[in-house]
């Protein structure tokens, strides 16, 4: 078997962490979740991740912690790809995420089928356990 692929999911909503983790976890893919930026940064210092999927707003109305995390990821692990998602998007945030190196930007609710397709394009063999409802 080839090397294990790692995905880090960062979101302050437990249901998002649980559902994305379920959809992305498969043989050969390790999924780690974090509900806090600090824990995400600690995980990034311990492991190489092939992909980080991060929410932009983690603490309150005006937070853009996900953009800061995106910059941090690209600084400490330039080969790690980053997908950003948010329920509070704007053209400015989309442009800033792209400028900082995000490969894709999703408005919530995320289209899971499209996300799985994007992840597969990165060479991460997710099966995609999508359930109705």
CATH label of the domain that carries residue 53: 3.40.50.2300
Let me know if residue 73 belongs to a domain. yes
Let me know if residue 18 belongs to a domain. yes
Let me know if residue 15 belongs to a domain. yes
Q: What is the pLDDT of residues 74-97, one digit of tens each?
A: 999 999 999 999 988 889 999 999
- At residue 132, does pLDDT exceed 90? no
Let me know if residue 32 belongs to a domain. yes
Look at the chain and report how many structural domains it folds into: 1
As a whole number, the mean pLDDT across the chain is: 90
What is d(CA 57, CA 91) in angstroms, rounded to the nearest whole number? 15
What is d(CA 43, CA 48) in angstroms, rounded to the nearest whole number? 9
- For position 133, what pLDDT does the model report? 41
- For position 130, what pLDDT does the model report? 56
Strand 81-86 to 51-55 pairing: parallel
Copy the structure tokens of residue 53.
């999927």
- For position 62, what pLDDT does the model report? 54
15: helix, strand or coil: helix
Let me know if residue 114 belongs to a domain. yes
Q: What is the pLDDT of residues 23-75, one digit of tens each?
A: 999 999 999 999 999 999 999 999 999 999 999 987 654 567 889 999 999 99
Range of the domain at 113: 5-121
Question: Quick one: average pLDDT of 103-126?
Answer: 95
Strand 29-34 to 104-107 pairing: unpaired
């Amino acid at each position: 078997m080839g090397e294990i692929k790692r995905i880090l999911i960062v979101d302050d909503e437990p249901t998002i962490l649980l559902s994305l983790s379920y959809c992305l976890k498969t043989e050969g893919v390790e999924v780690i979740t974090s509900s806090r930026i600090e824990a995400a940064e600690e995980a990034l210092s311990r492991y190489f991740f092939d992909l980080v999927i991060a929410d932009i707003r983690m603490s309150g109305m005006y937070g853009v912690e996900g953009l800061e995390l995106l910059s941090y990821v690209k600084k400490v692990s330039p080969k790690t790809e980053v997908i950003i998602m948010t329920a509070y998007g704007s053209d400015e945030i989309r442009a800033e995420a792209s400028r900082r190196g995000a490969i894709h930007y999703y408005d919530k609710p995320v289209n899971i089928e499209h996300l799985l397709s994007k992840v597969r394009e990165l060479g991460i063999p997710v099966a995609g356990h999508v359930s109705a409802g």
